[in-house]
Amino acid sequence: MSETQCLGCGQQLGTPFLDLGCSPLANSYVPPERAGQPEQCFPLRVAYCEHCHLVQLLDRVPPEELFTEYLYFSSYSDTVLRHAAQMARQLIQRFGLGPSHRVVEVASNDGYLLQYFQRAGIPVLGVEPAKNIAAYALQRGIPTLNAFFGPPLVPQLLAEFGAADLLIGNNVLAHVPEINGFLSAVRDCLKPDGWAVFEFPYVVDLVEHCEFDTIYHEHVFYYSLSAVERLARRAGLTLADVSHQSLHGGSLRIFLSRAPGVQPTEAVSYMLEREQRLGVTSAGYYQRFAAAVERVRSQLRSLLMELKAKGHRLAAYGAPAKGNTLLNVCQIDNRTIEFTVDRNPFKQGKLLPGSRIPVLAPEALLESMPDFVLILPWNIAQEIIEQQKEYLRRGGQFILPIPTPRIIRGPGQSTAAVRTGVGESEDA
Ligand SMILES: [Zn+2]
């Protein structure tokens, strides 16, 4: 399915500024019994709307294909959990929330965030489209509706739970093609003085740090504040505040108010002006990004091929969706990388889509001691390196793919061990 109209403003989209070829869906991990079957591939092209500044995929996959069975459990990452605990604390304080208030989270995953509101005695409701994850959240005692959030769900939500004082959506705005309907449903679920708080990866971080692997079919939109401000206004919400978060390679947290007459903070006008200065609201910004992507792609591929040609054994750490974009765009597969490891037991035993690299348990790193390990979830690289100190101590080395491919080795190792000519090496 290919669209040419902007999903935000309905105007005609120009030619894509980035074409990442065809790849399977980044979250369609292959069970071993299907290893012999081919995978369905979808084109991955990104366009910029000159009218409303919304960066979006040109080719879209129906959400039902993407989210009904999902293997990403937020609680498997310590970094995500720490961030959630802090976010809950801050929001409870900012809005003075207590037992008489109601908090809704859209795409609530396994209840990783709502659990902290619940512990503070605040009534919560999660909305989660993935059946397996919603069931898991319910098991953990987090009230959860297994549904897609949007206008059709509003009457049921209001009847069963009531209007929300606070509606939160972390990493969901990028996933919803019907973004105008989604935001008007958000407004309709709020009390007249209610607030919606969203976090999503920031397109400026994506571009500045060349995080092209975060582009995959589930992520329909790559937001600037300029684009999101227009969308909010169209839905009758005021973009009242914004802050920058380091999670997921750089995200924005925005505060939308339903009440009329709310004055945006200085942070909002500062960030909008900064985007103007950087050129975020012009097509050239994205064309320069496309050239940088091509550079990283070819550097990473050369580095891995060169190490392999020298007889080194390569593995990877993690099986995140973005790792699949990275591997497939760089055309790296199981002939180059022997295996990857992941803490998520639902991913262990499966093959990565496209590259067909087997996913093992983290213990496999020390058992097999590959010479180099490519870190796929680079956003939690510090957490991984800390957990895998023993691998480094025994002489293993990590490769970080972006923003420039580089090698990380243990403090005691000789820097002469590897001469690749790509990136600079550093001590962990
Ligand atoms: Zn547009």
Q: Worst-scoring range by mean pLDDT, 309-313, 331-335, 344-348, 409-413?
A: 409-413
Q: Map out the domains of the chain with their CATH numbers.
A: 65-284 (3.40.50.150), 299-427 (3.40.50.720)
Q: How far is the CA of 186 from the centre of ligand 1 (A)?
A: 20
Collapsing DSSP to helix, strand or coil, 428 comes out as: coil
pLDDT digits (tens, 9 = 90+) for 204-234: 999 999 999 999 998 999 999 999 999 999 9
Predicted TM-score of the model (pTM): 0.88
Q: Per DSSP, what are the bridge partners of residue 212?
A: none
Q: How far is the CA of 276 from the centre of ligand 1 (A)?
A: 17
Region of 96 please: left (phi>0), alpha (psi -120 to 50) or beta. left
pLDDT digits (tens, 9 = 90+) for 90-109: 999 999 999 999 999 999 99
Q: How far is the CA of 51 from the centre of ligand 1 (A)?
A: 5
pLDDT at residue 157 tops 50 = yes
Q: How far is the CA of 274 from the centre of ligand 1 (A)?
A: 20
> In which element (H, E) is residue 239 found?
strand 238-245
CA distance 26 to 322: 7
Query: DSSP of 304-320, one letter per residue?
Result: HHHHHHTT--EEEE---
Q: How far is the CA of 253 from the centre of ligand 1 (A)?
A: 22
Q: How far is the CA of 178 from the centre of ligand 1 (A)?
A: 13
Query: What pLDDT, on a 0 to 100 scale, did the predictor assign at position 423?
Result: 46
Phi, psi of 222 (to 5 degrees): -130, 100
Neighbouring residues of the ion ligand 1, judged by CB less than 5 Å: 6, 8-9, 49, 51-52, 54
The pLDDT-based confidence of 418 (bands split at 50, 70, 90) is very low
Strand locations in 73-201 (E)? 103-106, 124-127, 144-145, 164-170, 190-201
Q: How far is the CA of 49 from the centre of ligand 1 (A)?
A: 5
Q: How far is the CA of 50 from the centre of ligand 1 (A)?
A: 7
Q: How far is the CA of 322 from the centre of ligand 1 (A)?
A: 26
Q: How far is the CA of 230 from the centre of ligand 1 (A)?
A: 10
CA distance 5 to 3: 6
